[in-house]
């Protein structure tokens, strides 16, 4: 099983970053516009995510932890035999945050493309939140 970790420092308060991350059905508006072009809620714990690439994934939210500023989810269909991920926001002081995104996935053959997408996504998170 592959494990991918992407980390980026953001010139925005942890409260601002967490607010955007926690708003899990507005991913395409508040966190990664363009990278994600639509997010629709399906029931209480599912979201349908449409990426700018045209890929559509159905994700189940596993946990939202306000105290730890962490959200965890799993992809329930799509190209993965297994995919679980989390994103967390850490306070770096002086109004800065560290955004950490981790994904564990199978098959290993999707590691390269998933890692590239996560790198692109974290860059967009930084750009989006620092422009506010």
pLDDT, tens digit, 9 for 90 and up, residues 44-96: 899 999 999 999 999 999 999 999 999 999 999 889 999 999 999 999 999 99
Residue 107 has pLDDT above 90, yes or no: yes
Residue 114 has pLDDT above 90, yes or no: yes
The pairing of strands 36-42 and 46-51 is: antiparallel
Question: Minimal CA–CA distance to 97: which of 15, 6, 29?
Answer: 15
- pLDDT number for residue 132: 81
Q: Are 89 and 17 in contact (CB under 8 A)?
A: yes
Rounded distance between C-alpha atoms, residue 118 and residue 103, angstroms: 9
- CA end-to-end distance (rounded Å), the chain: 37
- The domain locations on the chain are 2-130
Rounded distance between C-alpha atoms, residue 6 and residue 123, angstroms: 10
Domain 2-130: homologous superfamily in CATH: START domain (3.30.530.20)
């Amino acid at each position: 099983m592959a494990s991918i970790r992407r980390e980026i420092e953001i010139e925005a308060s942890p409260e601002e970053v967490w607010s955007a991350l926690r708003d899990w059905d507005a991913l395409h508006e508040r966190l990664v516009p363009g990278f994600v072009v639509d997010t629709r809620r399906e029931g209480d714990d599912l979201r349908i995510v449409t990426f700018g690439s045209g890929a559509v994934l159905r994700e189940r939210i596993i946990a939202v932890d306000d105290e730890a500023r962490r959200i965890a989810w799993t992809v329930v269909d799509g190209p993965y035999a297994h995919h679980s991920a989390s994103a967390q926001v850490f306070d770096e002081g002086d109004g800065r945050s560290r955004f950490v995104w981790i994904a564990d996935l199978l098959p290993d053959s999707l590691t390269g493309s998933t890692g590239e997408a996560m790198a692109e996504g974290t860059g967009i998170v930084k750009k989006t939140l620092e422009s506010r």
